Amino acid sequence: MADLFNIGLSGLKSSQTNLSITGQNISNINTPGYTRQSAVQAARDPSFTGAGYIGNGTSIVDVQRIHNQFLTNQVRTSTSMNAEVMAFQTQIEELNGLLAGSATGINPAMQSYFGALQTAIEDPASVPARQLFLAEAEGLAGKFNTVHQRLTAQNEFIGQQMGTVTDQVSRLASNIASYNNSIAKASAQGAQPNDLLDARDEAIRQLSEYIGVTVVPQDDNTVNLFVGTGQPLVVGNDASALTIEPGRTDPNRVEIHLKSGSTSQNITGLVSGGELGGILRYRGELDNAMNSVGRLALSMASEFNQQLAQGLNLNGEAGSNLFADINSDQLKTDRSVAIGDSQGSLRVSIDDTSRLTTSDYEVRYDEGKLTVRRVSDGKLVEPVGTNPAQYDGFSLEDSGLQNGDRFLVMPTRSGANTIGVQMKNPQELAFAAPVSVQKDLNNRGTGSAELILERGQSLDATALKGALPLTLERTSTGYTLGGEAVTVSDTGEIALTVSGYGFTLKLAGQPAEGDTFEISFNTGTSDNRNALQLSNLQTDAVMGKSDTNKKGFSLADGYGTLIQHVGTQTAQARAESEASGAVLKQATNNRDSVSAVNLDEEAANLMKFEQYYNASAQVIQIARSIFDTLISSIR
């Protein structure tokens, strides 16, 4: 009867274990990362009798995790991808709202600015109209300043976010290393520590929300984790830490360092995936936005200042700057930052805003030569001209450089922050052209003459006034100006330079021999020709020119291109977010279909194992009854 009793007892113990496992599954149905468990049951070795082998019951040989590593890896990868996209989308949505918003963007202020200029063009002698234009100029400059400040605040907030995320990464890495230690010890006993494995997998999944990781299983049941391009985060029971450090070139622009013991490695450019990857991806867009807005501000200030310098104000004087000088000593110094232990200094002067890009530059000094490389595409920039040589619209003034000195040059980064209106008196606005042309009333022909102003001229009002008037006369052989023969193009244009001021005289009709045209210094206060030139800056191509793009684009298009780019990135982020969310949901469903606890299934198991338990108890009861009968029969 002992065999029957032991068989029943083994069934009782096995059913009890199955009930415990089922209860464990049910109680952990809401535990993140829990993988349902199942007992592996096997028959005990039988005993040989004369009639053959008779069984000795059953036993539990293992408790398995119902787990598929491939599906777990898919969930982790999808989690990392979705977290990166979500982090990027959150930030880019805010940037898009800032730049394209009717209350926060620059475009409405630009429209008001050029609208006020148009009002002044219609009545250039009106002081109130001029005052309105000055007020709108101050409003536009203030809007540039505000946008830059908002972008700077976003950059600072990103630094804070990176600090929070790296703290979480370090905490989870430490936890995973601790799990590795416990799992290695438990696995040495010959069985899988299922709950510890679940906890570690969940910790790795949580880690992938913050940063992309590569998981490499080891023979002792531990895992090693790597970030970036193979930098070790967890090796066995040793964990490295992620920290943020002030940037080498910009203390407000933090960098990510991987610290292990006494060593520290900058991995900012290597990190991808997770929230941290999304933040870094957005920071690149933020840099481009700051540089784009800065370039627009620099172009606006430079082009308007140059054009105003070619006109006359209400007092008959040469025009002065509307906006603050873009090449003050302080600004030239602030546009470069020394890298590392560089000993010298580098000043950056903006020479041609039409050729400025939105990139930063890395400049290196070796053997008496400067090497300039664009950060955006990594390409070397060849110098143009000499004394000074230009690189993409800017030039460099060096002092005390030593071999190996390196600098980060940011020509446009602070352009929107430093733009400001320096003109206070509306009468100083140089809306009039400095020269005028009139035909003689006694001319016999049908000829007429028009002055075409050219940009980029140097105006010395006193010298020009002293050199005028000059008379253009039609002779039998051609034209003379002040008695000297001049050349007329096939289109009727005469290129003239008087006291260093260049302009074009365009003839139309048929002047008769002896007809004259007088070119005089302009004294008309109602003249608006230079103001018209200012108005043309809204649509003329004055930005974005290069060797591969000779045409360039206008001030309005410059900002429109930025808005379009950010809008496209925002729309793409929304689509990526939706797609990655669907992929993550599918991966999670696939994992859960294999590993998650199913209440209906567990309820059925409870009933099954309860019946199993009762039946095993009945076997024991029968064995006892038979034993009692046997004892009674021999008394």
Identify whether 594 is part of a domain: no
Q: Tell me the β-bridge partners of 394.
A: 350, 391
DSSP, collapsed to helix, strand or coil, labels residue 484 as strand
Residue-wise DSSP of 215-273: EEE-TTS-EEEEETTTEEEEETTEE-EEEEE--SS-TTS-EEEEEETTEEEE-TTT--S
User: What is the percent of the chain with per-residue pLDDT over 90, rounded to a whole number?
Assistant: 64
Q: Tell me the β-bridge partners of 1.
A: none
> 175 and 187 share a domain?
yes
Please say if the pLDDT value at position 538 is more than 80: yes
User: By C-alpha distance, which of 169, 336, 162 is closest to 255?
Assistant: 162
> 395 and 289 share a domain?
yes
- Total number of domains in the chain: 4
Identify whether 393 is part of a domain: yes
Say what the pLDDT of residue 278 is.
97
* Per-residue pLDDT reduced to its tens digit, 236-280: 999 999 999 988 877 778 999 999 888 999 999 999 999 999 999
> 320 and 369 share a domain?
yes
Of 107-121, 203-217, 489-503, the one with minimum mean pLDDT is 489-503
Say what the pLDDT of residue 627 is.
73
Question: How many whole angstroms separate alpha carbon 140 and alpha carbon 136?
Answer: 6
Which amino acid would we find at residue 417?
N
Say what the pLDDT of residue 462 is.
80
* Per-residue pLDDT reduced to its tens digit, 576-591: 999 999 999 999 999 9
- Give just the sign of the alpha carbon dihedral 213, 218, 220, 221: positive
Say what the pLDDT of residue 262 is.
86
CA–CA distances in Å: residue 486 to residues 214, 492, 502, 507? 77, 12, 14, 13
> 192 and 224 share a domain?
yes
* Per-residue pLDDT reduced to its tens digit, 581-619: 999 999 999 999 999 999 999 999 999 989 998 988 888
User: By C-alpha distance, which of 312, 319, 314 is closest to 468?
Assistant: 312
DSSP, collapsed to helix, strand or coil, labels residue 141 as helix
End-of-domain residue from the set 369, 389, 418: 418
What DSSP element (H or E) covers 505?
strand 501-508
Q: Are 397 and 349 in contact (CB under 8 A)?
A: yes
> 359 and 280 share a domain?
no
Place of tokens 């379009």: 564
Question: How many whole angstroms separate alpha carbon 633 and alpha carbon 162?
Answer: 84
* Per-residue pLDDT reduced to its tens digit, 13-68: 999 999 999 999 999 999 999 999 999 999 888 888 777 888 888 988 989 999 99
Question: How many whole angstroms separate alpha carbon 64 and alpha carbon 192?
Answer: 8
> 278 and 141 share a domain?
yes
User: By C-alpha distance, which of 249, 285, 407 is closest to 358?
Assistant: 285
Cα 537 from chain centroid?
30
Identify whether 249 is part of a domain: yes
> 248 and 289 share a domain?
no
Range 269-308 burial, b when 16+ CB lie within 10 A, else e? eebbbbbbbbbbbbbebbbbbbbbbbbbbbbbbbbbbbbb
Mean pLDDT computed over 91-98: 95
Please say if the pLDDT value at position 218 is more than 50: yes
* Per-residue pLDDT reduced to its tens digit, 117-162: 999 999 999 999 999 999 999 999 999 999 999 999 999 999 999 9
Say what the pLDDT of residue 398 is.
87
Identify whether 151 is part of a domain: yes
End-of-domain residue from the set 490, 521, 552: 521
Please say if the pLDDT value at position 387 is more than 80: no
Identify whether 556 is part of a domain: no
Determine how many CB atoms are found less than 10 A away from the CB of residue 240. 25
Between residues 625 and 285, the one the model is more confident about: 285
Question: How many whole angstroms separate alpha carbon 352 and alpha carbon 543?
Answer: 9
Determine how many CB atoms are found less than 10 A away from the CB of residue 586. 13
Q: Are 410 and 376 in contact (CB under 8 A)?
A: no
> 361 and 448 share a domain?
no
DSSP, collapsed to helix, strand or coil, labels residue 389 as coil
Say what the pLDDT of residue 247 is.
85
Q: Using CB atoms within 10 A of its CB, is residue 548 exposed (0-12), middle (13-18) or buried (19+)?
A: exposed
> 225 and 177 share a domain?
yes
User: What is the percent of the chain with per-residue pLDDT over 70, rounded to a whole number?
Assistant: 99
Identify whether 424 is part of a domain: no
Say what the pLDDT of residue 1 is.
47
End-of-domain residue from the set 386, 418, 450: 418
* Per-residue pLDDT reduced to its tens digit, 511-535: 898 888 888 888 877 889 899 999 9
Say what the pLDDT of residue 635 is.
65
Q: Which domain holds residue 508?
A: 434-521
Ramachandran sector of residue 18 (left: φ over 0; alpha: ψ -120 to 50; beta: rest): alpha
Say what the pLDDT of residue 106 is.
94
User: By C-alpha distance, which of 299, 298, 302, 314 is closest to 531?
Assistant: 314
**Beta-carbon-side half-sphere exposure of residue 270 (alpha carbons within 13 Å):** 15
Say what the pLDDT of residue 461 is.
79
Tokens standing for residue 169: 């990464």
Please say if the pLDDT value at position 198 is more than 90: yes
Please say if the pLDDT value at position 623 is more than 90: no
Tell me, what DSSP letter sits at residue 371?
E
Say what the pLDDT of residue 470 is.
85
* Per-residue pLDDT reduced to its tens digit, 438-496: 888 888 888 888 888 777 777 777 888 888 888 888 888 888 888 888 888 888 888 88
> 310 and 239 share a domain?
no
> 335 and 350 share a domain?
yes
CA–CA distances in Å: residue 237 to residues 181, 182, 263? 5, 9, 18
Mean pLDDT computed over 385-404: 87
492 contacts: CB under 8 Å, gap ≥ 6: 506, 507, 508
Q: Are 90 and 82 in contact (CB under 8 A)?
A: no
Identify whether 538 is part of a domain: no
Residue-wise DSSP of 350-366: E--GGG--S--EEEEEE
The DSSP bridge pattern shows strands 479-481 and 470-474 to be antiparallel
Q: Are 235 and 226 in contact (CB under 8 A)?
A: no
> 249 and 290 share a domain?
no
Tokens standing for residue 351: 């020479």
Identify whether 545 is part of a domain: no
Say what the pLDDT of residue 132 is.
97
